[in-house]
Structure 1
Amino acid sequence: MSQYKRLIIVGAGPAGVGLGILLEKLGFQSYTILEADQIGSSFLNWPKEMKLITPSFTGQGFGALDLNAITPGTSPAYSFRKEHLSGLEYSEYLNLLADHFEVNVEEGHAVLHVEKTNGRFTLETSQGDWTCDALIWATGEFHFPKTDGILGSRYGIPSGFIQSYKELEIGQRYIIGGGESGMDAAYHLATNGSRVTVLLEGHLKDFAADPSRTISPYTFERIQKEVAQGRIQFLEEVKVEEIRLEQDEYSIHLQNGHTMSSQLQPILATGFKSGVEQIQEFFEWKENGKPKLSEEADESTLIKNLFVAGPSVEHDSAIFCFIYKFRARYAVMIEHLLNKWSIKIDQNVLKDYRENQMIADDLSCCEVDCEC
């Protein structure tokens, strides 16, 4: 009866499309990808100036797959002749691959509710119900900004809601949060003529070998010139408790009792929630807001045949929040599921993925360290 098993993937970003390509290569076509908007919609909603921080480079002949590729034999660097793609360009890359591999994507199907009864999942969507035997949640995080830690956060602008930094009024700007999105915003605002103050809970010099725990060299390099010119400054070890709007002026209240005033709306770059929170009752949760998953195949510890793909995957010190990281779990998850369903797997496909460093089944290999 295994041939009648059906899989649904929610989300058509790099995780969802990458999984669909793998399934097509394996000859398993009893799947559907449900996308609320369109393929690559998160990237289409990036600020126009934002680019991928991970560099793209074509090096397959030497066993180095482009860091932003989602399947072997492809390279965004080759396709666009660029090292750092914009969101629009990367979305185009995803669409090119979805068309080429004839991935089964249903656009405009927003998932409203999920139930599991008698071993099968039922998904209520904006265009009708779907049922399946296994479900992979691959929605990403960009559409879910984390703003609930600040009172009056409605008075700030989440960085992900900015269409273009060039459209924002020039002046003194405050950015709350010093991660990648905050530093990227600071850079673009400064180059457009604004003076920028970034409010950090930690220190700018905090650095780690794992790029998931710090700002990237690409971002650090870009902001240095603006810092030297006095256009960007940092307030370190400060925590914002509240934002108020009083007489057409924004006041930013810090935990240490200090207050700053701004004529312009502050920008919130306080990170993102897990997209898995949409179905949070199906998971156990860690204190850092990530779902607890099995190390074997990124499966919910509460619900069988419910998997997570993308930046919400985390196992101890292994954080899979970059494309080159979470793509290495596609084959691990699919091999586990198809073996469970007693479906024959083409080992040559898995061999190709392993040779391209796209299978991370030994998580001890994900420890990050640098000698210098």
Structure 2
Amino acid sequence: MDQTKTLEVVIVGAGAAGLGCAVALRDCGVKKLLVLERDGVGSSFRKWPKQMRLITPSFYSNPFKQTDLNAITPQSSLADFVHKEHPSGEDYANYLRACVGHYQVPVEVGVEVLALTPHRQGWSLMTNRGELQARFVIWAAGEFSQPHDGGIRGGEHCLHNSQVKDWSKLEGDTFTLVGGYESGIDAAIHLAWRGKQVNVLSRGEPWHDDDPDPSRSLSPFTRDRLREALEDAPGTIRFYKNAVITEVRHDHGGWRLLDDAGNVFDSVTQPILCTGFHKALAPVKHLFAEHDGQMVFSEDADESTLHEGLFYSGPSLSHRQSLFCFIYKFRSRFGIIARAIAERLGLPWEEPLQAWREHGFMVDDLSCCTDCQCAVNGENDEIAEAVEFAGAGEK
């Protein structure tokens, strides 16, 4: 890497968010652009458990202006690339790598950004390979490599679901999972199909929530798989609600999980935390405003409101209490960021970004994302009964 290089745009992260923005910028004619990646293109997806799949379906419907929900550009389709409706993490990483080659996106691998500092002409990026200067920076780092222990004391005694490479390789017959959302239910399903007894300890009952937003309840794909597992899998899944686990203790006899009221649940195998991830913005959190625990972004460009020229793209994006944590959500802002940067560089953007707007990659009316309600109410969906954790006692 040329340590004296001055660029127009540096993008941190070669995942879906970073590469999508890069292609949009290339379409606008941005030449001096570089994507920095610490591990490898799509590395977060390659770390997924072998059995994990994208919960949003892929389907090639681009000719009808209905782009594949998992695509990062208006002209590509993950389904057309791998011929699967719910691809694996490895499939998705291969698709991203193909996009890099097809769109000729300049990516520098093995580069870790150690510090990001604003100055009058733009930004200075100190990396493990030297210093870079850029007028604009798009922070698009991933989250999967930053597991969160849910604030549980003794969390180091547990195994985070992101550390599992293959659910079939875990030894034991009975497992305890902490967390009942997507990752927790996904783990429970895979273990049940392998004949395991699974206890799911959850604060709430997301398997009963009817919010149409999969950011706040289980996706239809996961609900379908859960119903099938409960009916036909050789193993069993038992749900415990109102389980606010605050501490895990480990001794030679096994693992003991305690809630905030002192209730105890014993596990003979290492508990598995399905408690999410640290926000990707953590390393640059000080460069963004925060309100009520949420990072603040400008609505016109997903830019820091504290420092001009620093943008964010990725699953930590939120506007008006609405979460943009899925690919099909945060990709709707790729064109918005590209437009802002192209305008400031004096480059044309209307014609280059027309396809991005037509295919939903340039949504600038946020009311569409936050105020829409389905016209027809859904049916009640009682998938499984849950036991009160407080009354579970020692198991």
Of 352, 356, 359 in structure 2, the residue corresponding to residue 356 of structure 1 is 359
Distance 1:148 1:200, change over 3 A: closer
**Deviation digits for residues 34-85 of structure 1 (CA, Å, limit 9, x no counterpart):** 0001000000111111110100001112221000011012111111111000
2:137 alignment partner, SS class: strand
Return the alpha-carbon distance in structure 1 between the equivalents of residues 237 and 91 of structure 2. Answer: 28
Look up the match of 1:322.
Answer: 326
Unpaired segments ≥5 residues, structure 1? none
Return the alpha-carbon distance in structure 1 between the equivalents of residues 112 and 7 of structure 2. Answer: 23
Of 273, 285, 290 in structure 1, the residue corresponding to residue 278 of structure 2 is 273
Look up the match of 2:369.
Answer: 366
Return the alpha-carbon distance in structure 1 between the equivalents of residues 210 and 360 of structure 2. Answer: 26
Of 1, 20, 41 in structure 2, the residue corresponding to residue 18 of structure 1 is 20
TM-score (norm 2): 0.90
1:133 alignment partner, SS class: strand
Unpaired segments ≥5 residues, structure 2? 1-5, 378-395
For 1:243, the aligned partner's letter is V
1:241 alignment partner, SS class: strand
**Deviation digits for residues 192-233 of structure 1 (CA, Å, limit 9, x no counterpart):** 121111111111312201121111110111111322356111
Distance 1:117 1:26, change over 3 A: closer
Aligned structure 1 segments of 4 or more residues deviating by more than 4 angstroms: none
Distance 1:250 1:331, change over 3 A: same
Residues 332 and 360 of structure 2 are in contact (CA less than 8 Å); yes or no, is this contact kept in structure 1? Answer: yes
Look up the match of 1:223.
Answer: 226
Matches within 5 A, 1:100-249: 100-203=102-205, 204-228=207-231, 231-249=236-254
How far off its partner does 1:114 sit? 1.6
TM-score (norm 1): 0.95
User: Is 1:73 the equivalent of 2:75?
Assistant: yes
Residues 7 and 134 of structure 2 are in contact (CA less than 8 Å); yes or no, is this contact kept in structure 1? Answer: yes
Return the alpha-carbon distance in structure 2 between the equivalents of residues 254 and 172 of structure 1. Answer: 20
Look up the match of 1:335.
Answer: 339
Distance 1:286 1:168, change over 3 A: farther
Residues 14 and 107 of structure 2 are in contact (CA less than 8 Å); yes or no, is this contact kept in structure 1? Answer: yes
Residues 210 and 369 of structure 1 are in contact (CA less than 8 Å); yes or no, is this contact kept in structure 2? Answer: no
1:34 alignment partner, SS class: strand
Return the alpha-carbon distance in structure 2 between the equivalents of residues 160 and 77 of structure 1. Answer: 25
Residues 144 and 277 of structure 2 are in contact (CA less than 8 Å); yes or no, is this contact kept in structure 1? Answer: yes
User: Is 1:309 the equivalent of 2:309?
Assistant: no
> What is the CA RMSD across the aligned residues, in angstroms?
1.5
State the percentage of identical aligned residues.
38
Look up the match of 1:47.
Answer: 49
